[in-house]
Structure 1
């Protein structure tokens, strides 16, 4: 069974001076135009509608409220002349304080921008570990460069352009031959072992003493030398 909604507690109906004080307090607190119906509804029935209308009119006659008529609707608002205003000295002091706070805020904004820039620089700066790693890599590159230069320093004649061209030509020739022979071997090996179980094919490979590419071969194939050679070959074909 669904529980019955709780009934709202009854509001005591005010009369006389209590009703007048309640209405004046509410209109003053809200400080916006209201009709009698709205005031009675917002007070949750503490003052009946008919009594609310009479009290609002009476308060307007006393000068506590200002009454305005728009067509057939009458609105009441608290008399703004009765609202306490700040003296001019206080307003001037507040304006002075506002200017100081705005200047201080501008300085803080400038500081935030400066600190943000500094923080970005710090974040982009390598850490100690990264610097150590960079130093280590640089030292290794220096060692490699020195080993490359050692023959020249000992008086060994440098390789001429013709010799270098011949080396590249020989490299291209014999690498192409190697690639061709490997392709032929893989084709025949696939035909020979296609019907064999994997373990039998492995045993046959060991019995025949077949040696596959070593990690050094793989590194060479994936290295800059082969990539450069392939790029040169493609360039010559396009020309």
Structure 2
């Protein structure tokens, strides 16, 4: 065996040994049944173990009696050797159950507190800081000052009209608009009557007669 091959062989054995130790520790820690695929999926991301290496390591651990193997159909299940664990009495199990229940209650309470704190934090993050609030107050004061100045200018102006004068302007406007509509309708009727015996088009007639329409002047009758 060349020196290069010897180094690669030693390195491969070291990796396999480390992988076996890692898998053995994992199964003993979790103390529950796993398939080789489960162990590969749980350890591959963190430790970079290949699936083939995991399968070989678990088979070897089972052959060496360090873990137990059960076959269900075509699937092999591996789990820690229970003989290594200290037997626990019924009283100890009840005490553990009580402790688990107490810790679960504490976890629920802490989780609820965390949710409440998260809600308060979101509210605080969405609120204005003291500096932002002071800046906004100054901006609002400046706007109010501008509105006050504008109001004073309006109050001091000499071109105000009374409500009665304003009402008269609106009434006069309505009268003029109605008269505009009336005269436009009369003119339209007259032109239609003339065009019944006129040999040319309406456009030619209006041009010859020198009539300018609202459309020519780009105006429209306003609504009343």
TM-score bracket for this pair, using the shorter chain length: 0.3 to 0.5
TM-score, normalised via structure 1 length: 0.39
RCO comparison, higher one (Cα < 8 Å, 6+): 2
TM-score, normalised via structure 2 length: 0.41
